[in-house]
Amino acid sequence: MELSWRTAKVLLAVVCLLAAFLFQASSAGSIISRIGERLGVGRGRSNNDEGATERPTMVDPELITLSEDLYKLDQARTGNAGKQQLDWTVNTRSSTGRLFTRMNDALLTKPTYAKFIALLDNYNPVLGRSEEVTPQERAEQSSFLDAIIATPVMQKAWTFLKSRGLAPSSQSGFKDLLQRIWFTIYKRRGQPDTSGFEHVFVGELDGGAPNAPVSGFHNWVRYYLEEKAGRAVFQRWKGQTDPDIYGLQFLWNGHPKIKSTMAVGESPEMSVAVLTTCFLTVPNNECKLRMGGAPVSVITHKWTTRSAQEFYVASAYYDS
């Protein structure tokens, strides 16, 4: 009888040890899983250097309606309605290093285009090197924001954001919001070296090495001007979705961009309206839209600080 009692105690001890082991393993797995989620590991999608997204979002019917309305307004304003008389053409099978085969440069003299182009030479593209913003450059930023806010496209986006409680009701407040999230200089590589506008619309180099890759650079006007100047060389077409959202691989001053996506033909105000709306509505995620009847996706990433009220655009681009 004594032997069976001792045996029972041994068995009980073994069972307790096994249970403790399994509990610890389960807890460790849970902790690792949570860490992975915080880092974005195994979650969402990534686009080369842009980072991972959160879990897929549901379709928002109001965003679908808004994006269709914005697209119609922009097409009518640029004269490309129905795509019957485009101001540009591209050759995605080009072997000459040039993507654009025709461009009506008169389009680029329109007020919002001209003010957008004035901003493009205000930046040092190398990450890790401090940016300095001059009074003249601040004036150019202010002039650009005034110009796009006055357009029907941006007014439409602003009305939507106000209805969601995501934008101030005053025009000055809305302008301040755009100024902060797009033009604030913050530290990406240890120095105040970047802004949302520079990353998305101008493009950056991930360091000063001769083969440093290109980061960001998702604007077609910027690409066209750099190609025209001989600084951008088209290499390969990497997919396309309607309406005119192109994926391409290119060299910029000899630096590789493995894949960039650009909505060719849209105005600067359309770019800012769409990307801002997605950034404020579904940050760090896929923003599902529709333009010209075609499904469109935008991915945005938020750069956060210790203050919940102080955040900036880290990246924002069309997905293809």
* Active centre residues (catalytic): 199, 218, 257
23 φ/ψ angles, rounded to the nearest 5 degrees? -65, -45
- Report how far residue 74's alpha carbon sits from residue 277's, in angstroms, rounded to the nearest whole number: 15
Strand partners of residue 318: 298
Rounded to the nearest 5 degrees, what angle is found at the Cα of 162, between the Cα atoms of 159 and 167?
A: 115
Token output for 88: 């540009």
What percentage of the chain's residues is helix, strand, coil (to nearest 5)?
Answer: 45, 20, 30
C-alpha to C-alpha distances, 53 to 56, 179, 227, nearest whole angstrom: 8, 24, 31
Q: Are the CB atoms for 225 and 103 separated by under 8 Å?
A: no
- Report how far residue 230's alpha carbon sits from residue 244's, in angstroms, rounded to the nearest whole number: 23
- Other Cβ atoms within 10 Å of 161 Cβ, number: 20
